Structure 1
Amino acid sequence: MKLSIFTIAAFFALSMGVCAQDQETDSLEGQKVVLDEVFVSAIRVTKESPVTFSNLTKEDIKPRNLGQDIPVLMNFLPSVVTTTDAGAGIGYTGIRVRGSDASRVNVTINGIPYNDAESQGTFWVNMPDFASSTESLQLQRGVGTSTNGAGAFGASLNVLTDGFSEDAYGQISTSIGSFNTLRNNLKFSTGLLNDQVEFSGRLSKINSDGYIDRAESDLDSYFLQGAYKDDNTLIKALLFGGHEITYQAWYGVDSQTLTDDRTFNPSGIYTDIDGNTQFYDNEVDNYKQDHAQLLWNEKISDFWSTNIALHYTRGRGFFEQYKEADDFSTYGFEPIIVDGEEVNTTDVIRRRWLDNDFYGTVFSANYRKEKLDLIMGGGFNKYEGDHFGEVIWARYASNSSYQDRYYDDSSSKTDFNVYTKANYHLNDQWSVYGDLQYRTVGYKANGEDTGIVDDTFNFFNPKAGVTFDLNANNNFYLSYAVANREPNRNDYESGNPKPEKLNDFELGWRYVSTDVQFNTNMYYMSYKDQLVLTGELNDVGAPLRENIGDSYRLGLEIDANIRFSDKFSIRPNVALSTNKNVDFFIVRDDVLQDLGNTTIAFSPSLVAGNILNYTPYEALNLSLFSKYVGEQYLSNTDTEASKLDSYFTTDFNVTYEIKMDKILKSIVISGLVNNMLNEKYVSNGYTYLDSWSTPGNTFEVQGYYPQAGTNFLIGATLNF
């Protein structure tokens, strides 16, 4: 869908800003920190920091939380673009911020790294319904403040899980919707026992057929927590995780199929012995992930407090594939004679396994007195992973044996960082911010895709800024930050990748009053050796990247929360940007071509959103969500063939609460209509250069991920 600049201007004039998603407040002092937030205080920022950020609270998330993944629930934050393989927000979902994909968005849960250590991606499908155990989240755009885990090259997202509850409660939720979607969960808390101890938990089950053919999801998850508190101590022990079985939907469709049969899924397709087209019924991704966290905050004095956390994550699973007429050599099979003829290909069903452990510690100490807020912290984490493949059936098995592995690779990664950051108030108006981080990473791998890898990276990441409080309602900030980042596992498939470096400049203004919150900022992100998406995928559906030398992103972001009355408010946002590769070269038909300055792939120049919220009376809330994503390229070549059209979607959300005065405290009815105008849009895709079929004549081949038209979810929550 194409919109003129006048349409966009009208949209923004009606909306007037971006969705800050902050709690209502009338000055820049903001809200008081709740007790559980001490676990993320070392990596979160406030309006007194020269960092660009947005907050989402449990109350913001709750009305739309009917089973979709966290990235989808974040879709209306500034500069955010989301996508989903199955087309309806359940299953594999992805997020891009300022054009940077999920592998470049640093994610922590209670301050503990969540990005996969090797791919650097975040797989929310491994923790379905995690939004139901989220107290709040903060998205820092740009480099942000020093945190744990991989460097933030587009944004950092830190999630705080459920806080402890002083009162006992029980909650049963269910939701149903399009594509046979069914979500059930159960939550409980004992409340504080003896004013010190609380136990709480959640069990969830989600099933959905998906919009795309056979893109079913069968998802289970759990969350268990024990908490202890006294005047100076808060300790929390958490166990959470999930098990996902999703039918693969990562291949997309070509342009003709997109027109003729947009829900077609080529995954699992094969021809049986009678020549009939079939689809293998177990072409699935099957993965379990369990997390254990021990968090301890200690208030040592009126000025000093400390945090330490120990964590362990266990992941194991596989994806299963039917492969037709595959070469014996792939599996180490010897040719055999069948009916007098040599056979060296076979149909097989194979499983490609990942079995890994991730463990370590993060820590911080905070000194806060009068003008100085000082934080010292860091972390040490280690990843150990096994990658191996098994053939579980073959039409011709040759010399194979039970549980043979046709490849057996291993990898390990260590990640150590220390940082010191301080915010010092020079006077009532001026404050200065400094942040120094040293990070060292060691990565070893041996695999057919990576080759032999034994790399060590040492990074120094300084950050500095200044904040000026004009008065109680206005402040301005200017910051400069450096980030360095190591390649991920898939980057080694393309050769010998370099680490990348980012210099990030942010200039912003915030206005806060009782009824208006307004944020605007300009940014300039200058990259050296940026690893950008090429538009290609590898054989497991993971996007490939390559170093491109110099590139930059220049943008303006505006967001607001405007309350016209107790009943009506709007939360609009707009992000304008230009995203360029400088002097981009490409090899086409064995000729090196200089394409000049080209647009960075998957980087729309305009992203806008808005939330219109109307509460006619206390029990009823109506919200209209709008999202516009401008056209974007699938590759870095600026060709028309690789362009995704712009799109505009509108969702409608309603909640109604029925108060009770007995054992059942309330019933909350929720409804969500997604894409209510039935926009036929594509949110993601891929492209690659093909010269195999026509040697000497290279052309681009595209694949697309269509998203669902109008669809709905409706749910009910019983609160005890």
Structure 2
Amino acid sequence: MKFLFKFLLFLRAILSFFKDNQKSILILLVLFIFSFVEAQEKQQDSIIVEKLDEVLVKAIRVDATSPITHSNIDKEKIENRNLGQDIPVLLNYLPSVVTTSDAGAGVGYTGIRVRGVNAQSTNITINGIPYNDAESLGTYWVNLGDFASSVESMQLQRGVGTSTNGSGAFGASINVLTDAISENVNAEISNSFGSYNTWKHTLKFSTGLLNEHFEIAGRLSKIKSDGYIDRASSDLKSYFLQGSYVNDNTLIKAITFGGKEVTYQAWNGIDAETLKTNRTFNSAGMYTDNQGNIQFYDNEVDNYNQDHYQLHWNQRYNNNWSTNIGLNYTYGRGYFEQYKEDEDFADYNLEEIILGAETINTTDLIRRRWLDNVFYVFNANTNFKNDALNITFGTSYSTYVGDHFGEIIWAEYASNSEVRDHYYDGNGKKKDFSIFSKATFKINDKVSLYGDLQYRNVDYKTTGETSDRIPFNVNENYNFFNPKAGITYKLNNNSNLYFSYARANREPNRDDFENNETVKPEQLNDFELGFRHLSEKFRFNVNAYYMLYNEQLVLTGQIDNVGNPIRTNSGESYRLGLEVEATIALSNKFSVQPNFTISSNKNKKTVTSLDGNLVNLGKTNISFSPEIVAANALVFKPNENFQASFLSKYVGEQYMGNTDSEVSKLKTYFVNDLNVTYKIQTNSIFKSIVFSGLINNIFGEKYASNGYYFTYDDTWSDPNQITTIEGAGYYPQASTNFLLGATLKF
């Protein structure tokens, strides 16, 4: 009944969405109906040539011979290491990937960079539905704790990739397919525990196919961790529920999933000296009481709820034609809470208090900064294929409305404030429409061509104030044309060469507009040249890329007062690199799986203020872009029930700013993990029992995977001289730690 109630709410939200956006939806429906009518005219064919579940992501994924650089991750690979850490951490050993964790141990707020490109430029979709936050363009996996337990497969496309839904990809796109339909009834209970009082509890079930057509499946999860960093705790609750109808040619899925997270803030980082002497120190929540003692506020937390409702209808008409409609409604709401000392009344729209001869205009207080938003999406895709041609037409429309407001929930001196007063209010509205057509055409047995054209329109408006009570009004409309083309040449049954070109355009995010009123959209021209070889005992991929940017929004190294990275346009810049990955079967039991990326990442011209003067530094390194990233997995699998993997990750030094300052350097690190799984097949109550173990950072490397860099001008030490002062902060990662788990499968 709870699922039915949520589903009815979902339908009501979708109907409201249609009512509010009739003109835009009419265009999409006409396009889809045209494709639907064409497909209906084709002859029916009962032969099943692909899984209907995969149609959910067919329009935005590529196949093994596509001229798009990509990696696939299946359910088995995910399960081996899924002991509570977030999805970015589970992707850590893929080529060109660098991950980080605010709390230091992979639970809570985590981040991912691909080819040095920040997370705001990575496109994420779940079942073809955009997941990036429409305003910040970021992806917050913490809102979906243990989501990996409901993932069937993922594909990571590096570079621009193929046309996708939502914001454009500037370094990578990750598209996620949730659990496929299970034909047989099953259930599992999974529990794990580990260092820093980390616990994960998961319950999953599937009814299997009822009457050969219906399935209900779901998951409940809870993850708790104290974190490696002081007080950087996480309390994550999540759910996943789907109802499905399937026959030979139809799949309808109603899916709801979401989560509630409460995480203690750990975005302040620490300076270099503290990194040496007290690397787990966390200044968040620190204040001085009336007796002059240092205290830490116990509820300096991020508290957020996010619920998603999706409806998918996949239809295959014969071996040539298939269509997909996807609807989505997302509701997010929550706040982060902070204790602030000696805050000015004027910053909170409070009046001065006059007590006799004394005037009070500052106060200690606790504030909450709120987000309350809704996100609607409509997708429609049509696919035609035969032996020579595979063509997809797709369109997507989304609308986002987000309220931003602040409350004071306690103050030492409350002045004229009232309960639930808003001391600032703001609103953001964003509409995103795209239409694309992509095709692969086989000229002959050796050569196939790939083409992809996308038009995207983005309309973004804001009203009200920022959280600092500064008037904030944005009214921007962008029209982007993103062409892509490629060629694949088949050398033999095991090997092929490919070349591709892709252009991408991307709008600034909300923080970019707040930090710079003249911010510009960024553009990327991406060239990829690669070779692939696949045989039974040897897999080898090598790819060279040249990513040429205009006005790339690079990280400055600075963060704002809520831990968000600050970006700026960098004029002309480029990323030139070589990616190599392989899987080598040394025997029937041993395999080695190395990959590495070497790259050069440069701003062509950097001008900065130094000691009161503008200085042209010429060509400089792009921030957070290591020249070497390498990984390896040594896998021992003597039988189907046991596997041990020794995992290694090397990340070269990187600058946290764009001025090549030595102060901004983040040191090289080399980390090794050990992952073991053992399955016991039983003939009793359980189908199997799977034991898993993970020792992270097995050699106790003391390293920081992320940080920030800042400068300011000292004009007071010597009134006749301006001196630029540099500083840096670091996010240390956990030393040796472990996770152990057991999964009981029924």
TM band (smaller chain): over 0.9
- Percent identity, aligned pairs only, is 60
Match of 1:609 among 624, 631, 644: 631
- Give 1:275's aligned residue: 292
- Give 2:459's aligned residue: 442
- Give the Cα–Cα distance (whole angstroms) in 2 for the partners of residues 223 and 450 of structure 1: 40
Residues 1:94 and 2:115 are matched in the alignment: no
- Give 2:484's aligned residue: 463
Q: Indicate conservation of the 8 Å contact 1:675/1:711, yes or no.
A: yes
- Give the Cα–Cα distance (whole angstroms) in 1 for the partners of residues 689 and 515 of structure 2: 54
- Give the Cα–Cα distance (whole angstroms) in 2 for the partners of residues 493 and 693 of structure 1: 26
- Give the Cα–Cα distance (whole angstroms) in 2 for the partners of residues 142 and 400 of structure 1: 51
User: What per-residue deviation string (whole Å, max 9, x for no partner) do you get for residues 511-567 of structure 1?
Assistant: 011111110010000000111000011111100000010000000000111122221
TM-score by length of 1: 0.95
- Give 2:728's aligned residue: 702
Deviates more, 1:284-293 or 1:439-448: 439-448
1:691 Cα deviation after fit: 2.1
1:450 Cα deviation after fit: 7.4
CA change 1:68–1:158 in 2 (3 A) is same
- Which residue identity lines up with residue 484 of structure 2 in the other structure? K
- Give 1:678's aligned residue: 700
- Give the Cα–Cα distance (whole angstroms) in 2 for the partners of residues 451 and 151 of structure 1: 25
Aligned 1:113-512 pairs, distance under 5 A: 113-338=130-355, 340-446=357-463, 447-448=465-466, 451-495=472-516, 496-512=518-534
TM-score by length of 2: 0.91
Q: Indicate conservation of the 8 Å contact 1:633/1:643, yes or no.
A: yes
1:701 Cα deviation after fit: 1.3
- Give the Cα–Cα distance (whole angstroms) in 1 for the partners of residues 500 and 458 of structure 2: 26
Deviates more, 1:692-701 or 1:138-147: 692-701
Q: Indicate conservation of the 8 Å contact 2:490/2:497, yes or no.
A: yes
- Give the Cα–Cα distance (whole angstroms) in 1 for the partners of residues 484 and 170 of structure 2: 14
- Give the Cα–Cα distance (whole angstroms) in 2 for the partners of residues 301 and 472 of structure 1: 28
SS at match of 1:116: coil
User: What per-residue deviation string (whole Å, max 9, x for no partner) do you get for residues 376-427 of structure 1?
Assistant: 0010000000000000000001111111100010010000000000100000
1:158 Cα deviation after fit: 0.2
- Give the Cα–Cα distance (whole angstroms) in 2 for the partners of residues 450 and 531 of structure 1: 23
SS at match of 1:40: helix
- Give 1:714's aligned residue: 740
Q: Indicate conservation of the 8 Å contact 2:612/2:724, yes or no.
A: no
- Give 2:645's aligned residue: 623
Match of 1:662 among 676, 684, 693: 684
- Give the Cα–Cα distance (whole angstroms) in 2 for the partners of residues 463 and 619 of structure 1: 44
1:493 Cα deviation after fit: 2.0
- Give the Cα–Cα distance (whole angstroms) in 2 for the partners of residues 624 and 301 of structure 1: 46
Aligned 1:547-696 pairs, distance under 5 A: 547-691=569-713, 694=716, 696=722
* Higher relative contact order (CA closer than 8 Å, sequence separation 6+): 1
Q: Indicate conservation of the 8 Å contact 1:450/1:489, yes or no.
A: no
- Give the Cα–Cα distance (whole angstroms) in 1 for the partners of residues 76 and 55 of structure 2: 20
1:341 Cα deviation after fit: 1.2
Q: Indicate conservation of the 8 Å contact 2:612/2:723, yes or no.
A: no
- Give the Cα–Cα distance (whole angstroms) in 2 for the partners of residues 593 and 158 of structure 1: 42
- Give the Cα–Cα distance (whole angstroms) in 2 for the partners of residues 584 and 527 of structure 1: 14
SS at match of 1:691: strand
1:588 Cα deviation after fit: 2.6
Deviates more, 1:613-622 or 1:86-95: 613-622
Q: Indicate conservation of the 8 Å contact 1:335/1:342, yes or no.
A: yes
- Give the Cα–Cα distance (whole angstroms) in 2 for the partners of residues 663 and 673 of structure 1: 30
Match of 1:528 among 547, 550, 559: 550
1:323 Cα deviation after fit: 0.2
- Give the Cα–Cα distance (whole angstroms) in 2 for the partners of residues 485 and 419 of structure 1: 16
- Give the Cα–Cα distance (whole angstroms) in 2 for the partners of residues 428 and 228 of structure 1: 38
- Give the Cα–Cα distance (whole angstroms) in 2 for the partners of residues 270 and 648 of structure 1: 36
SS at match of 2:53: helix
Q: Give the unaligned 5+ runs of structure 2.
A: 1-48
- Which residue identity lines up with residue 592 of structure 2 in the other structure? I
Give the helix-richer structure, 1 or 2. Answer: 2
Q: Indicate conservation of the 8 Å contact 2:52/2:250, yes or no.
A: no
- Give the Cα–Cα distance (whole angstroms) in 1 for the partners of residues 471 and 175 of structure 2: 30
1:694 Cα deviation after fit: 4.8
- Give the Cα–Cα distance (whole angstroms) in 2 for the partners of residues 400 and 325 of structure 1: 16
- Give 2:13's aligned residue: none
- Give the Cα–Cα distance (whole angstroms) in 2 for the partners of residues 539 and 386 of structure 1: 19
- Give the Cα–Cα distance (whole angstroms) in 1 for the partners of residues 290 and 189 of structure 2: 50
User: What per-residue deviation string (whole Å, max 9, x for no partner) do you get for residues 23-76 of structure 1?
Assistant: xxxxxxxxx853311110111001221100001001011111000000000000
Q: Give the unaligned 5+ runs of structure 1.
A: 1-31
- Give the Cα–Cα distance (whole angstroms) in 2 for the partners of residues 564 and 169 of structure 1: 36
- Which residue identity lines up with residue 598 of structure 1 in the other structure? T
- Give the Cα–Cα distance (whole angstroms) in 2 for the partners of residues 312 and 342 of structure 1: 50
- Give the Cα–Cα distance (whole angstroms) in 2 for the partners of residues 233 and 213 of structure 1: 51
- Give the Cα–Cα distance (whole angstroms) in 2 for the partners of residues 431 and 172 of structure 1: 46
- Give 1:545's aligned residue: 567
SS at match of 1:37: helix
Q: Indicate conservation of the 8 Å contact 2:651/2:668, yes or no.
A: yes
- Which residue identity lines up with residue 270 of structure 1 in the other structure? Y
- Give 2:95's aligned residue: 78
- Give 2:22's aligned residue: none
- Give the Cα–Cα distance (whole angstroms) in 2 for the partners of residues 34 and 560 of structure 1: 28
- Give the Cα–Cα distance (whole angstroms) in 1 for the partners of residues 690 and 566 of structure 2: 44
CA change 1:34–1:613 in 2 (3 A) is farther
- Give the Cα–Cα distance (whole angstroms) in 1 for the partners of residues 406 and 515 of structure 2: 22
Q: Indicate conservation of the 8 Å contact 2:52/2:314, yes or no.
A: no
- Which residue identity lines up with residue 405 of structure 1 in the other structure? H
- Which residue identity lines up with residue 713 of structure 1 in the other structure? L
- Give the Cα–Cα distance (whole angstroms) in 2 for the partners of residues 640 and 654 of structure 1: 40
- Which residue identity lines up with residue 143 of structure 1 in the other structure? V
- Which residue identity lines up with residue 487 of structure 2 in the other structure? V
User: What per-residue deviation string (whole Å, max 9, x for no partner) do you get for residues 179-224 of structure 1?
Assistant: 0001001000000001110000000000000000000001100000
1:117 Cα deviation after fit: 0.3
- Give the Cα–Cα distance (whole angstroms) in 2 for the partners of residues 409 and 170 of structure 1: 45
SS at match of 1:121: coil
SS at match of 1:572: strand
User: What per-residue deviation string (whole Å, max 9, x for no partner) do you get for residues 583-602 of structure 1?
Assistant: 11112333211001000000
User: What per-residue deviation string (whole Å, max 9, x for no partner) do you get for residues 636-664 of structure 1?
Assistant: 01011100000000000111111111221
Q: Indicate conservation of the 8 Å contact 1:450/1:493, yes or no.
A: no
- Which residue identity lines up with residue 477 of structure 1 in the other structure? Y
Deviates more, 1:690-699 or 1:563-572: 690-699
- Give the Cα–Cα distance (whole angstroms) in 2 for the partners of residues 331 and 481 of structure 1: 48
